[in-house]
């Protein structure tokens, strides 16, 4: 299956948005200042082979 560049970019942005929304939810509900204020955590999306597909753009970078 061949995907055009526009479709690839749309799918890539969806993956980033999913992870960013998870990070935002965690920041809003966190109790500790290290998470709530300093964003010292990471949210990421992995495939079934444990390969990182996307990580949050609003938190500490992935590993």
Q: pLDDT by residue (tens digit) across 8-52?
A: 999 999 999 999 999 999 999 999 998 888 888 999 999 999 999
In a domain, residue 42? The reply is yes
| Per-residue model confidence (pLDDT) at position 28 | 92
In a domain, residue 48? The reply is yes
Please list, in sequence order, all residues whose beta carbon lies within 8 angstroms of the beta carbon of residue 22, skipping any fewer than 6 positions away: 43, 56
Phi, psi torsion values for 9, nearest 5 degrees: -65, -40
Give CA angle at 43 (5, 4), nearest 5°: 5
What is the residue range of 38's domain? 5-55
In a domain, residue 32? The reply is yes
In a domain, residue 45? The reply is yes
| Per-residue model confidence (pLDDT) at position 46 | 94
Number of structural domains the chain divides into: 1
In a domain, residue 15? The reply is yes
């Amino acid at each position: 299956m061949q995907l055009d560049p526009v479709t690839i970019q749309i799918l890539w942005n969806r993956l980033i948005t999913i992870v960013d929304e998870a990070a935002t939810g965690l920041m809003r509900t966190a109790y500790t200042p290290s998470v709530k204020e300093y964003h010292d955590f990471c949210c990421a999306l992995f495939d079934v082979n444990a390969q990182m597909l996307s990580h949050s753009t609003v938190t500490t970078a992935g590993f």
